[in-house]
A and B are shown apart, each in its own frame.
Chain A
């Protein structure tokens, strides 16, 4: 009940204490060794977060279950490319989950799905290295959420459309019936505000 009230990122942070492997590095090493406990722990650590993100995108529980399953299967099959010493499991899994969910959304909306090779390139495990340990920290999740709340309605709308509906700026302009220049301006200013907040969090 308590966890239900929290953003998924915060709930994820709280759950860390109860897991078998003490950190993502150890978990990744066991995943690569095909330790059955590792996939169980991976799910315990990221299952709820993944499901929450996918639900927000597809708004369909049954489809979300399928997509979570696909996400974890993909992690399992691609984990050998993951750098256990420098990699960040959380951002990688969320990227994979988002791509699966956005592809699903595009297919049911009759939009052009992203090319398979491009997705492979964007979510390649080797790209998710040298992240800060606190990449999904509770404090950062709070700050980014607060920064998001402070955006104006147009800025929030373009962020929603990009992150949770997978629309390009051209597609956003069409959806919002606004000139492309306006959309680009909102996207730019919104991302800058969020980026600045994360930079401040890193300094603090």
Chain B
């Protein structure tokens, strides 16, 4: 039972909670210039969280290699595309 609670899963859950708190804090008390950086950082943190969910909760870390590659590629591609779109939008203002 203790092994079940003191697991990697629990550690990751705590990390995810901490990352959520950090993301919420990042949206506050920023100057106009810092907002762009904070926005991009929030997207990066979201996808770091998503990667942990995919690799550890969904157990893709130990899945057949093609599955892991698809998972990693999705995280990387969508995260990069979203940051580009976000920064492009900010640049217009």
A and B bind: no
